[in-house]
Structure 1
Amino acid sequence: MMHKKMSMKPAAAAAAGVCMLMAAPYAAAWEQEESAREEGDVASVVVTATRNAKAVDKIPGAVSVITQQELSTQYLIADDPSQALSTYVPGYAPSRQKMTSTGESLRGRQPLILFDGIPQSNPLRAGMREGYFADSAIIERIEVINGASAMQGMGATGGIINYITKTPRTPGTTYTVNTRFASQFESDSLDWKTGLTVSHKSEAFDMLAYAGVQRRGMGYDGNGRRLGIDNVQGDTLDSHGNDLFVKIGRSFGAQRLQLSVNRFDLSGDGDYRNAPGVVAEGVPTSSEPGTPIGMTPRNKVRSASIDYRHAELAGGQLTAQFFSHDFESLYGATNTSTFQDRAIAPVGTLYDQSQVVADKIGSRITWSRPDLFVQGLELTTGLDWLRDHTQQRLAGTNRVWVPELKFRSLAPFAQLEYEFGPVTLRGGVRHEDAKLEVDTYTTLAAYGGRVVQGGSAEFSKSVKNIGAVWRFAPQWSAFASSSEGFGLPDAGLVLRGVTLANQSVSSLISLQPIVTRNNEIGINWRGAGGQFGISRYDSRSKLGSVIRINSAGIGLVERVPTTVKGWEANAEWRPIKDLSVFGTWATTDGKTAAAQGAPMDIDLGARSQGPDKAVLGANWRVKPQAQLRLQATHLRDRDINIGRRVGTSNLEEHFKGYTLVDAAVTWDSRYGRFGLSVENLFDRQYVGYYSQSAAAVDAANTYAGRGRTFALSWTRGF
């Protein structure tokens, strides 16, 4: 716990109080979004991830909204959150198909993941397990703000991904049962999930409750070979999970109070072991029956929030959220050289397990006032507070790997928006006043057992944004924006790797914050027959953060400048009422330097950047009760940093692209809604992007992707 009193510079608070960022009336947008979708008015769809609920055609930036219908179809094909993002968000990297999300970046940088506004990301010690925190059955939509942003706080250098849960809409009480079965028709390949949702809405209160369980079997590649299981970083193969979620609220007049609680667990079963492939022969990693050493990898997530809204307070709307988030991820046992200690066991014989624990509590208070002084001028202002305690231990021997990182931030913000005719102007500032405290600790024996003196690092930084949208013709709009995001490098990775004597936390320059500026322009068309958008962005960090793997397999944080430039496009065309064709396209070019002051001539690798990507698909309503979906995803070849090394880190990467095709059909009957899907329709044999690029010479981590997989679902309400 943190006991020191928090403080904030009065001048900074005053300055922030008259500038900007963005606020959070989530519930106010629910009914607006539903009615807009029913009427087919895409331009009126409301986005809440900007913190102030806005129609998409009034936001100066590239925004993606994945609807409930799109999610239900994609989750029928593959119940994988990151695969849904990769399909619908142009700049999101390909899914690893694992519990770990290393390499799953957004526009070459890390996104901030939210769950109804509650931060799920752990930037202080990014264990890359934040992608699995809730059952997909409770998600109504996903909102993605592309590009650096500070509107939701620290960590959104690549953008914001906000998962919005379902909410009761039909008066009365309803019960919904959902089931899903997937298989490749091998004896150990069955996946199944079942859940029950209870929804209630009345004048007294509304409630949504969900309970679900899931069991996942093994998978097979296009050659019929069992997929490799990641016993260390974590895998969804051979695993089980469950989720309990409750959201209950009551409205009284212009006010609303809501409580939500989520309890999610995902754990391996421990029935299979990793079987290394043969790199020289191009044989990928596989699995074999057997019990791995130690406890199986797992995720344990507990989230809760109390939300309050007053729609008529001093001429504006007040929104307050108070939240807690407890996250625990356990990694599998390994005898890596990092864990060896002669005082405990002979070198090479000591197996241990990493465990990341992060506990957050915080609040977000926002007040928004339209038509301030003059018509069309809106002020949004508020205050965010966060306390994050994160540490990493070795569970087998109870050793400290990363000492407890005690972080707190206080951030006032303000935003001004002025709408006149077809033009919307928006600009503001958020002031981050943050402090990181670490007690004195000793590094592991592998790093020399160095005593690092405790200390603190304080950051006081104002991050700004400005933008404009011009609706220059019916159904057409153009935008230009410049926004900054604030984050920290992986502080845990920095502190655990200290090898020099006489170091102190407060003197480690590598703990300086990352400030990323994203400049972007774009044009959009939205009409009854579809929509189209294209944008160009330029994202820069003067003091960025790049993880490089040395010859010993240890990740080191390098503080060097980074630049990411790219184009993104998305489109949907509805030539007739019952047919829509959609697509996305993205090209990304990330650069960094070997050291500060060196030329920016090194390409960002697969840990940071995905390949160029294109998605093309179609939805056809065959009959009023039946819909067919067909989609194809193409990843382009990528060969970078030929012959380049920095220290002992080999930066050369090669990727042979591939195209995957999926199909799904859903139909409604008196017995409920049925769904049938085929993932990887043509049974393509391929090795995943990250495995080809970043782990090409690692026989135990070259993972093939899933071959042809069939899934059947059934949903019925009572």
Structure 2
Amino acid sequence: MFIRFACATSALALCSVASGPALAQSAQQATTIDDVVVTAARTALPRSAMPSTIEVINEAQIAQQAALGSSAVETVATLIPSFSPTRQKLSGAGETLRGRSPLFLVDGVPQSTPLRDDSRDGFTIDPFFIDRVEVIFGSNAIQGVGATGGVVNYVTAAPPVEGAGPGGRFQALTTVDDSRFGDSVGGKLAGIVGQDFGRFDLTVGAAREYRGAYYDGGDRRVGVDGAQGDLQDSISWSLFGKAGFDVSADRRIELMVNHFELEGDGDYVGVAGNRGTGLPTTSARGNAPGIQPSNDVTSAALSYTDTNVLGGTLRAQLFAHDYSGVFGGGTFGTFQDTAIAPAGTLFDQSANNSEKLGFKLDWQGDIAPVPGLSALVGADALRDTTWQGLVLTGRDWVPETRYESLAPFVQLNQRLLGGRLNLSGGLRYETVTLFVDDFRTLASYGGGQQVDGGEPGFNELLSNIGATFEVVPGLKAYGSFAQGFSMADVGRVLRGINIPGQDVDTFLDISPVITDNYEIGLEFSRGDLQASIAAFRSETAKGARLVLVGGVYEVAREATGIEGVEISARYTLSDTLRLGGGYAHLDGRSDTNGDGKVDQDLDGANISPDRLILWAESDLTDTLSLRLQAGRYFERTFDGQPAENDFEGYDLVDLIAVWRAGFGDISLGVQNLLDADYISYNSDTTRPTDNAAYFAGRGRTVTLGLTRRF
């Protein structure tokens, strides 16, 4: 069925793009993706040689979405139809790309916590320091563990222009609900400056943002997520630095450091809604107990590049990543221990911690004896130490768990027919060991169980193969098969052991989630028209589906299959008007009874709704421009799931206006222009009996900004 569907949609796209006019390219048109080196792909090949869907969100697009007060992950979700609607919370649980989890990177440094996945990896950098976002769709092992849905790489500010002197930019933003001006007011100040001093260059920046209370389309204060953490009523600040030294004309050393902190203010407490009557969860003024939810992240990367090694380019990167995420507290049953306090009275809260150290080493160049053949060879290593503790009583919830991997790889590309045909293929061999010492579970798990530690591991050979072909000038067809892998959330499994006499070596199943991704597509680019269509299927024989058990999500190792189609188009109608849009359809099912058939729909915690986005940009004058963007999330029902989890769908419209004045750019962004009153997708499709987690989306907000470049 997938092949028939793919062929039909591909033929439809070919007819539609072939019928479009081939006009001269407008000077206003954005840079095409072929002009950009996609660093997340770890290759200097042109985009036309890559047999997969890749999207690059450039600096201008990031600046546009920043005018709405958007975070980095909201920018991706707004512009990529197959990315889930965001929860507008600190937690991104259930937010997926093509129905599976993406791997977030900052300049190639992994931000995820795969051993105890807390889904906060989208909030580790301020978008002000991002020059572009590279999105590689579909499962792949290009960057190692975690990219079962794709890769989202935040590429930070480029080095200063040589000989240009000091330069940078400053930004001030303020955001307010359109009808509630008091506690909804938020603000942001950010600046970055850099200079090239010859062989040495330096860039430094800082940002600070305060977010006020959120209000929905019915002018009700949106409920705070006291347990998982919230973005509203929070303060974040960030420091960024990048220094480079040109050892010679061929060799360069560069150091990047990013520090990001976000913490709730604790001025509000949640008030449960009523799913039966459609009343969403709200907030009331009050003092939230305990330490407020927060993210505290530091990433650093030391990179070396030599463009003249054996006729190719040698790249090496040593990186470190330190993360701590605090969650809200409560007298949850899991935390109770009568040896500490009477049952039902013990207040506690957890913090997830991850420390990474790793390196990436690769060489890319032409293989001289074979015309048109190039190779990428290298090796990656990663050590990730993760634990989850209870911060008020000093107990361990998830024991310290250390993940160590070494992965050599090779990738070949063969150019044929004068570059019209490109064949690619590669192998990556993952060797992984997990180290867990003896530990004891919390008292709530059967009185506390003593568990013997161990060192389970696995070896896995991952492969990919693909081809691209230029059918006619401007029209490319491609097809590929690629494998990606991730870890099941072993922290959830370890902390929940409630049976005596368990041993990590025999109890814990750390077999990886191997995803096989099949994709075919067409891309057309000629004159003022750019269009693409891709059909894909992603399947795994032993996945990691989130299942709600007793109010807490656990991991079920089940076969899953996801297939879909994505369509996008952009057309420059005139020198002053550009139109575009995109559509994504997803269908996902799982094997819940172990009979080998994927026969039950994935729910809203595991797959996103179908979505259509449309946009128009106009340069009204030399100094005034407008962008109108709209998104439709289509209704969805889930066979085999409670009817209460059915999704009704909703529409969102945003408006962005920019006036380029002599002293800087003044922007006005209106998010949710029509003030739609809706329940967020995750809240509408999960936890059907939980009235405390029935969150509405944000209503109409207005953001006024000033950006000055110097």
> If the length of structure 2 is used for normalisation, what is the TM-score?
0.93
**1:45, distance to aligned residue in structure 2 (A):** 3.0
Matches within 5 A, 1:533-682: 533-550=532-549, 552-642=550-640, 644=641, 653-682=645-674
Please tell me whether the aligned partners of residues 65 and 142 of structure 1 are also in contact (alpha carbons under 8 angstroms). yes
Runs of 4+ in 1 over 6 A off after TM superposition: 36-39
The structural deviation recorded for 1:442 is: 1.0
What is residue 222 of structure 2 aligned with on the other side?
227
SS of the aligned residue for 1:445 comes to: coil
Q: Is the 8 A contact 1:494 1:510 kept in 2?
A: no
Identical columns (%):
38
Q: Name 2:269's counterpart in structure 1.
A: 273
Could you tell me whether the CA contact under 8 Å between 1:476 and 1:523 is conserved in 2? yes
- Pick closer, same or farther for the CA change 1:371–1:622 going to 2, 3 Å: farther
Give the counterpart of 1:686 among 675, 678, 692: 678
Q: Deviations over 1:69-118 (max 9, x none)?
A: 11111121132222211122221100111111011111111111100000
Question: Is the contact between residue 43 and residue 526 of structure 1 (CA under 8 Å) also seen in structure 2?
Answer: no
Between 689-698 and 477-486, report the one with greater CA deviation. 689-698
Q: CA deviation at 1:559?
A: 0.8
Aligned 8 A contact 2:33 2:55 in 1: no
* Structure 2 stretches lacking a partner, 5+ long: 1-26
User: How far apart in 2 are the matches of 1:239 and 1:328?
Assistant: 17
Structure 1 match to 2:320: 324
The Cα of 1:438 is off from its aligned counterpart by 0.4
* In structure 2, C-alpha distance between the alignment counterparts of 1:631 and 1:696, rounded to whole Å: 31
Contact 1:37/1:45 (<8 A) preserved: no
Aligned with 2:440 (options 439, 442, 449): 442
Q: Does 1:198 align with 2:193?
A: yes
Q: How does 1:413-432 map to 2 (within 5 A)?
A: 413-420=409-416, 421=418, 422-432=420-430
* C-alpha contact 1:40 1:528 (8 A) present in aligned 2: no
Q: Note the C-alpha offset of 1:698.
A: 1.3
Letter of the structure 1 residue corresponding to residue 705 of structure 2: S
Moved more, 111-120 or 503-512: 503-512
Q: Measure, in 2, the Cα distance between the counterparts of 1:143 and 1:55.
A: 14
2:493–2:508 Cα contact (<8 Å) kept? no
Distance 1:625 1:527 in 2: 28
Q: Partner amino acid for 1:270?
A: G
Q: CA deviation at 1:483?
A: 0.1
1:708 counterpart letter in structure 2: R
Q: Identify the match of residue 347 of structure 1 among 343, 348, 366.
A: 343
- Write the distance in 1 (CA, Å) between the matches of 2:569 and 2:29: 20
**1:716 aligned partner:** 708
Q: 2:133 aligns with which of 132, 135, 142?
A: 142
CA distance in 1 between partners of 2:289 and 2:687 (Å) = 23
Indicate the RMSD between aligned Cα atoms, in angstroms. 1.5
Q: Residue in 1 aligned with 2:166?
A: 173
Secondary structure of the residue that 1:700 maps to in structure 2? helix
Q: Matches of residues 5-44 of structure 1 in structure 2 within 5 Å?
A: 40-44=31-35
Aligned residue for 1:133? 124
Q: 1:469 corresponds to which residue?
A: 468
Residue 337 (str. 1) matches residue 333 (str. 2): yes
Describe the superposition over 1:475-512 as per-residue Cα deviations: whole angstroms up to 9, x where unpaired.
00000000000111001011111122221111135321
Give 3-state SS (helix, strand or coil) of 2:683's partner.
helix
1:183 counterpart residue number: 176
Change (3 A) 1:657 1:621: same
In terms of mean alpha carbon deviation, does 197-206 or 625-634 score higher?
197-206
Displacement, 1:39? 8.4
* Deviates further, 471-480 or 694-703: 694-703
| CA distance in 1: counterparts of 2:373 and 2:44, whole angstroms | 15
Contact 1:190 1:217 in 2 (8 A): yes
Q: What is the 5 A alignment of 1:232-311?
A: 232-251=227-246, 252-311=248-307
Distance in 1 between the 2:592 and 2:182 partners?
49
Q: What is the alpha-carbon distance in structure 1 between the residues aligned to residue 456 and residue 301 of structure 2?
A: 29
**Residue by residue, what CA displacement relative to the aligned partner does 1:646-669 show, whole Å, maximum 9, x if unpaired?**
xxxx69621110001000011211
**Contact 2:230–2:264, Cα closer than 8 Å, also in 1:** yes
Partner Cα distance (1:39, 1:279) in 2: 45
TM-score (norm 1): 0.92
Residue 81 (structure 1) aligned to one of 49, 72, 81: 72
Deviation at 1:555, TM superposition (A): 2.1
Residue 13 of structure 1 aligns with which residue? none
Relative to 1, partners in 2 of residues 1:218 and 1:39: Cα closer, same or farther, differing over 3 Å? closer
Task: Give aligned pairs, total.
Answer: 676
Q: Is the 8 A contact 2:588 2:607 kept in 1?
A: yes
Secondary structure of the structure 1 residue equivalent to 2:509: helix
